[in-house]
Amino acid sequence: MKFNFNIKEFLISTLISTGLIAGGFALGYYAHANTHPPELELPLLSQAKVILENHALYDLPDERALEYGMIRGMLDAYGDPHTYFVEPVEHELQYDSLEGSYGGIGSSIQRDGDNFFVLYPFQDSPAQQAGIMDGDRLVKVDDLIITADMDVHAIASAIRGPEGEKVAVTVARAPDFEEFEFNIKRQSFNLPSVTWHAAAENSRLGVIEVNLIGANTPAEIENAFSDLSAKGADHLVLDLRGNGGGYLDSGIEIARLFLKKGVVIHRQYKGKAVEVIEAQKDGPLSNIPLVILIDQGTASASEIIAGSLQSQGRALLIGSDSYGKNSIQLVFDLDDGSSIRVTNAEWWIPGWDFPKPGQGLYPDFPVDPNDERPNPLIATALIIFFEAE
């Protein structure tokens, strides 16, 4: 049977932290498809379900929860950690973050040291304009009471909704934790994937922090450099620490921003010939002195950027070994909004045996995590760029 897939690839690591998911997490690499296969005959599975129904002491979960569990079991048996199932709310959050926009109030959700969920509104967002302040504890969303054991995706889903409609958000504010209720109109809100600043130690050094590799990230990096350049920066640090990946094409385009002509990566899909992905011309930032910060959280599409620039001698890497993930996933949408990530291809850097299992990129300048210097990675970049001067 032939299926028609509308596929947009997706590089993804397994390094997603709860705090980042709601605020602008580092994810991976997308493809969308609807599949309608013939009914499967699974007699043993049906037999096992009947046994549970007739003999188990406790009540069974609902049909959807059972179905999700069956899907997870099947994918676990497949044995690839990067092939897995994602429920609808998390899938939507991941997609919106990578696309760079969503309908909501414009605030990240994190846990504080006392295990409460707290809000951090984005600049000029509906949440900030309504009066939400950094660190406000989230008490209630409409009629949903927020508790410490709730899933952050469920909370984010409750806050989100149709653009133009209002949501009631109740917070408790330090130091007395008096409660305030805000009725906030949901808006379509852009999620930046890039932040930047001039190094405090030397304003000639611009630091661009890339949180994820989304659809808008290449343009955001160009905008960041334009702003830094106008303020006097003529050297760059590209900070990819904790960046778990993103759209493959966006990762390639970011590498092309900084590369001169040459090969970026090789890529091979299942059953297909090897593709050579190149930079056809010098990138607009190809002459800017550059170093890249990496760590164990640097994975997938962010490793494409760092590895291709390092292999061509375009940038030095500072930090610790990266994660080591050279697989590409396709993401298939299921009918209820959930999805399955399926490893379908591999990429590698020309002339490298990278990455072997458990092996990531090696930094040119390793920095001990216990280094007691203030901001040791930036200090290393300053030595590389300016010590001779």
User: In angstroms, rounded to a whole number, what is the distance separating the alpha carbons of residues 329 and 331?
Assistant: 6
Confidence of residue 36 (pLDDT cuts 50, 70, 90): low
285: closest CA among 248, 247, 249, 233? 233
- Give SS3 for 389: coil
- Look up residue 78 and give its DSSP letter: H
108 shares its domain with 95 = no
Q: Supply φ then ψ for residue 176, to 5 degrees.
A: -90, -10
108: closest CA among 22, 10, 14, 229? 22
Residue 7 corresponds to which tokens in the numbers above? 């596929």
**3-state DSSP helix/strand/coil % of the chain, to nearest 5:** 30, 30, 45
251 shares its domain with 111 = no
Which of 70-79, 236-245, 328-337 shows the lowest mean pLDDT across its residues? 328-337
Q: What is the mean pLDDT of residues 301-323?
A: 95
Sequence-ordered list of residues with C-beta below 8 angstroms from that of 304, at least 6 positions apart, any chain: 11, 248, 251, 252, 255, 264, 265, 347
- Give SS3 for 208: strand
129 shares its domain with 152 = yes
pLDDT tens-digit series, residues 320-370: 999 988 889 988 889 888 899 999 999 998 766 555 555 789 999 999 878
124 shares its domain with 136 = yes
User: In angstroms, rounded to a whole number, what is the distance separating the alpha carbons of residues 14 and 28?
Assistant: 9
139 shares its domain with 226 = no
Residue 293 corresponds to which tokens in the numbers above? 């910060």
Q: How many CA atoms lie within 13 A of 347 on its CB side?
A: 31
Choose between 299 and 5: higher pLDDT.
Answer: 299
- Give SS3 for 93: helix
Q: Note the helical H segments in 211-281.
A: 217-230, 248-258
User: In angstroms, rounded to a whole number, what is the distance separating the alpha carbons of residues 311 and 258?
Assistant: 13
Q: What's the pLDDT score for residue 112?
A: 82
239: closest CA among 372, 380, 383? 380
Q: What is the CATH number of the domain that holds 150?
A: 2.30.42.10
84 shares its domain with 111 = no
Residue 62 corresponds to which tokens in the numbers above? 């609902």
User: In angstroms, rounded to a whole number, what is the distance separating the alpha carbons of residues 152 and 191?
Assistant: 18
**Is residue 225 scored above 80 in pLDDT?**
yes
* Residue where one domain finishes, among candidates 190, 212, 237: 190
**Is residue 29 scored above 60 in pLDDT?**
no
Q: What's the pLDDT score for residue 37?
A: 62
User: In angstroms, rounded to a whole number, what is the distance separating the alpha carbons of residues 66 and 347?
Assistant: 36
Q: What's the pLDDT score for residue 102?
A: 63
User: In angstroms, rounded to a whole number, what is the distance separating the alpha carbons of residues 150 and 315?
Assistant: 43
Q: How many domains does the chain have?
A: 2
Choose between 253 and 370: higher pLDDT.
Answer: 253
50 shares its domain with 109 = no
Strand locations in 24-175 (E): 84-86, 101-104, 107-111, 117-121, 136-141, 144-145, 166-173
**Is residue 32 scored above 70 in pLDDT?**
no
Contact 244, 28 (CB under 8 A): yes
Q: What is the mean pLDDT of residues 159-169?
A: 88
204 shares its domain with 174 = no
Share of the chain above pLDDT 90, in %: 57
* Residue where one domain finishes, among candidates 167, 190, 213: 190
Contact 37, 46 (CB under 8 A): no
Q: Supply φ then ψ for residue 47, to 5 degrees.
A: -65, -45
Choose between 155 and 4: higher pLDDT.
Answer: 155
48 shares its domain with 35 = yes
Which of 11-25, 140-154, 213-227 holds the top average pLDDT?
213-227
Full domain range(s) for residue 181: 104-190
Residue 313 corresponds to which tokens in the numbers above? 């001698």
**Is residue 42 scored above 50 in pLDDT?**
yes
What would the DSSP string read from start to end of 338-386? -EEEEEEEEEE-TT---PPTT--PPPSEE--TT--SSSHHHHHHHHHHH
54 shares its domain with 179 = no
Q: What's the pLDDT score for residue 163?
A: 81
* Residue where one domain finishes, among candidates 132, 165, 190: 190
User: What is the sign of the dihedral through the CA atoms of 337, 343, 349 and 350?
Assistant: negative
- Give SS3 for 268: strand
Q: What is the CATH number of the domain that holds 80?
A: 3.90.226.10
Confidence of residue 40 (pLDDT cuts 50, 70, 90): low
Share of the chain above pLDDT 70, in %: 86
Q: What's the pLDDT score for residue 77?
A: 95
Buried b (16+ CB within 10 A) or exposed e, 196-213: bbbbeeeebbbbbbbbbb
Q: What's the pLDDT score for residue 38?
A: 63
CA 113 to chain centre: 23
Q: Note the helical H segments in 56-87.
A: 63-78
261 shares its domain with 134 = no
201 shares its domain with 186 = no
Residue 262 corresponds to which tokens in the numbers above? 């040459």
**Is residue 288 scored above 50 in pLDDT?**
yes
**Is residue 387 scored above 90 in pLDDT?**
no
Choose between 348 and 123: higher pLDDT.
Answer: 348
| CA 274 vs CA 116, 269, 353: distances in Å | 49, 8, 16
Q: What's the pLDDT score for residue 13?
A: 36
Choose between 371 and 129: higher pLDDT.
Answer: 129
